[in-house]
Amino acid sequence: DVKVTQSSRYLVKRTGEKVFLECVQDMDHENMFWYRQDPGLGLRLIYFSYDVKMKEKGDIPEGYSVSREKKERFSLILESASTNQTSMYLCASSFLGLGEQFFGPGTRLTVL
């Protein structure tokens, strides 16, 4: 079974803090993704990566950055957290081109 793990299920941070969300997958997938999930808006893509050290902006990259130093690990960074970044963050991975994505359990981030 594909396993995608995320470093925290729940996280509470203060405005202005730097926040790191970590994601690890164990299936040697080329693609990795970060989404945020908000009620009524579905999943919106923040960033994705199709290879080590490669990254592409998704639909809502503002206020976020990412890092992929190893194939199995994809990090999402909030340089200076703001209250409008309070959300559920989902990591996913997939093989290149096949489309089916496998999701982690999510991190519910609250920024106070």
Partner 1 sequence: AQSVSQHNHHVILSEAASLELGCNYSYGGTVNLFWYVQYPGQHLQLLLKYFSGDPLVKGIKGFEAEFIKSKFSFNLRKPSVQWSDTAEYFCAVNEDNDMRFGAGTRLTVKP
Give residues in contact with partner 1 (CB under 8 A).
31, 33, 35, 40-43, 45, 50, 90, 92, 96-106
Q: How far is the CB of 42 from partner 1 (least distance, A)?
A: 4
Q: How far is the CB of 80 from partner 1 (least distance, A)?
A: 27
Whats the size of the chain, residue-wise? 112
Based on CB atoms, which residue is closest to partner 1, 75 or 94? 94
Q: Which CB, 39 or 69, lies closer to partner 1?
A: 39
Q: What tokens were used for 64?
A: 């976020």
Spatial distance between the Cα atoms of 23 and 73, rounded to a whole number of angstroms: 6
**CB of 59 vs partner 1, minimal distance in Å:** 9
* Residue closer to partner 1 (CB basis): 15 or 96: 96
Q: How far is the CB of 18 from partner 1 (least distance, A)?
A: 26
Name the residue nearer to partner 1 (CB basis): 27 or 41: 41
Q: 81 — phi, psi (to 5°)? A: -60, 145
